[in-house]
Amino acid sequence: MQAVPGRNYFELFGLPESFDVDVVELAGRYRELQRRFHPDRFAAASESDRRRSVQMTAEINAAYQALRDPVARGRYLLELRGVAMHADTDTRMEPAFLMQQMELREALAETRAVADRGARLARLQRQVEELMEQKVAALRRHLAAGGGDGNAAARNAVREMQFLQKLTREIEELE
């Protein structure tokens, strides 16, 4: 999936192109741009203004989605560097990470059968959150290092974070 081609999302929000984004500031700028460009502002405008307003706000929404959470932001920064995330053919993962994922998934499956499920799920969720924090830190480091190795490591981190996100969703489903 790709966004509508257009300007750099960081530029759109007037923010420096960096992994470290002040999310409060980002949200404020998002709302301000929406408030100016939303089609409701153009209810009485000409057809071409309305069309542009829809395109513009669609782009603002896409940009906000791409920058608001660290996984999407990492993916977007790599995209800007020409590193594609969605190559289905490349499914290699670190064996250690895969082992860990299998263990977490087993633990998740076990909660279905136990009485103190709520407590177990909460524990599992904390575990996943901690892992996510570690990955965010690693991603920040790799992106700062850059270059072929840095980008490759960052890409790996993003893919691992996508796994963790999926796991988080599944935990939430069971809660």
Partner 1 sequence: MALLQISEPGQSTAPHQHRLAAGIDLGTTNSLIATVRSGVADTLPDEHGRHLLPSVVRYRKDADPVVGDAALDAAADDPLNTIASVKRLMGRGLADVARLADHLPYEFAAGDSGMPRLRTAAGERSPVEVSADILRLLRQRAEAALGGELTGVVITVPAYFDDAQRQATKDAGRVAGLNVLRLLNEPTAAAVAYGLDHEAEGVFAIYDLGGGTFDISILRLNRGVFEVLATGGDSALGGDDMDHAIAEWMLREAGIRSGIDARLLRRLKRDARAAKQGLTDRERVEVTTTRPDGSVWKGTLTRELLNQMVDPLIERTLSATRRALKDAGLKPADIKDVVMVGGSTRMPRVREQVAGYFGRAPLADIDPDKVVAIGAAIQADILAGNKPDSDMLLLDVIPLSLGLEVMGGMVERIIPRNATIPTARAQEFTTFKDGQTAMAIHVVQGERDLVSDCRSLARFELRGIPPMVAGAARIRVAFQVDADGLLSVAAREQATGIEAHVEVKPSYGLTDSEIERMLRESIEHASDDVAARMLREQQVEADRVLEAVQAALTADGDRHLNAAERAAIDAGLTALRSARAGNDPAAIKRAITAVDDATREFAARRMDASVQAVLAGHRLEEFSK
Shortest separation between residue 46's beta carbon and partner 1, angstroms: 5
Contacting positions for partner 1 (CB under 8 A): 1-4, 12-14, 27, 29, 31-49, 52-59, 61-62, 64-65, 172-173, 175
Which lies closer to partner 1 via its Cβ, residue 143 or residue 171?
171
Judged by CB, which is closer to partner 1: 118, or 147? 118
Nearer to partner 1, 90 or 172 (CB): 172
Measure the CA–CA gap between 145 and 152, rounded to whole angstroms.
11
Q: How far is the CB of 9 from partner 1 (least distance, A)?
A: 12
Distance CA 14, CA 24 (A): 14
Grouping H, G, I as helix, E, B as strand and the rest as coil, residue 86 is coil
Collapsed DSSP state (helix, strand, coil) of residue 149: helix
Residue 131 and residue 101 in contact, taking contact as beta carbons nearer than 8 Å: no
Chain centre distance of CA 24: 16
For the bound state, the minimum distance from the C-beta of residue 168 to partner 1, rounded and expressed in Å, comes to 10
